[in-house]
Amino acid sequence: MKSFQIDRYAKGGALRLGESPEPELRDNDVMVAIHGAGVNLLDSKIRDGEFKFILRYRLPLVLGNDVAGVVVRTGANVRRFKPGDEVYARPAQDRIGTFAEYIAMDEADVAMKPANLTMEEAASIPLVGLTAWQVLVERARLQKGQKVLIHAGSGGVGTMAIQLAKHLGAHVAATTSTANVALVKSLGADVVVDYKKDDFENVLQGYDVVLNSLGKDTLDKSLAVLKPGGKLISISGPPDPDFARQNGSGWLLQQVMRLLSAGIRRKSKRRGIHYSFLFMTANGAQLAKITALIEAGDIRPVVDRVFPFERTNEALAYVETGRAKGKVVITVK
């Protein structure tokens, strides 16, 4: 099958279009013919080698962490899906590879595609939708009436998180640039801070939760927004000891992560705030709940651009500019 892959880790390196074997179909797997694949900053970070000590991939590696497509074959134990089903998923982190014609995934990681979305729209959802769900529902346990600040409100995770937080009944603030203020308001944000005009830490206070997807400066400044007992949840790092243990990291890597997060954990503790790092995981059951919200009209996809498969490198380069509104998708079939 045709696929875009890397032969070695290289910062800014181009993906190679070539042939690779069809993935192995295990007993609990569905084989999916890929129609659309979301493109994420995670793909470029994996290519750059940022996670090579955490995620032990065998090279050459087919990249891609979002998929929508059609089931073509099923393993012996599969009961929830059959050939012809239109599905979408974020593959498990050790079985990525959606920049290709086919992918095999455990049925537990897969959900039926929302009936009201195209393949390209559906492919934009899984990784960012599950990230928003796991931050706001699982980790933050966000309640009606609570206040949440979502950084980078016009990005892939931001556009999903704003809509999910509003569905949960929260008061939502978001940061974005001048050009994207209208988009972020249209998604339901109650307060929009234009970071080109204002410093969010001087405008907002008394928040229960902050979802951070930006750098260290934003992470540190977010402490001033939170009230005692608040939760600072970062999807961009630094990783903490709890994540290291959950990820099965060895003692040495646990100590490295402890050191990396020591500063923000110390500052958080002084303010009575709980800091945690979240690296989202595949989960078909959660994705099915997101499907229900999409079909009910509570969440809509935000797709900036769709690239043809052969222009996957251009799609990844566009994502890396940081200017995409919502998601970027490649169409495979």
pLDDT at 240: 82
pLDDT at 126: 98
Residue 40 has pLDDT above 80, yes or no: yes
**Which CATH number does 127-277 carry?**
3.40.50.720
pLDDT band at 130 (very low <50, low <70, confident <90, very high): very high
Q: What would the mean pLDDT of 131-135 be, rounded to a whole number?
A: 98
Q: Is 289 helix (H, G, I), strand (E, B) or coil?
A: helix
Residue 196 has pLDDT above 80, yes or no: yes
The most confident of 3-7, 51-55, 238-242, 252-256, by mean pLDDT: 3-7
CATH topology of domain 2-125+301-331: Quinone Oxidoreductase; Chain A, domain 1 (3.90.180)
pLDDT at 251: 77
The full set of domain ranges for the chain reads 2-125+301-331, 127-277
- pLDDT more than 70, % of the chain: 100
Q: Among the residues of the chain, which ranges form H helices?
A: 41-48, 119-123, 126-133, 156-167, 181-186, 200-203, 216-222, 241-246, 251-260, 262-270, 284-295, 312-320
Q: What would the mean pLDDT of 317-333 be, rounded to a whole number?
A: 95
pLDDT at 261: 85
Residue 271 has pLDDT above 80, yes or no: yes
Q: Sheet with 147-150: list strands edge to edge.
A: 191-194, 171-176, 147-150, 207-212, 226-234, 274-277
Residue 333 has pLDDT above 90, yes or no: no
pLDDT at 237: 82
pLDDT band at 56 (very low <50, low <70, confident <90, very high): confident
pLDDT at 181: 97
pLDDT at 243: 82
Per residue in 57-101, pLDDT (tens digit) is 999 999 999 999 999 999 999 999 999 999 999 999 999 999 999
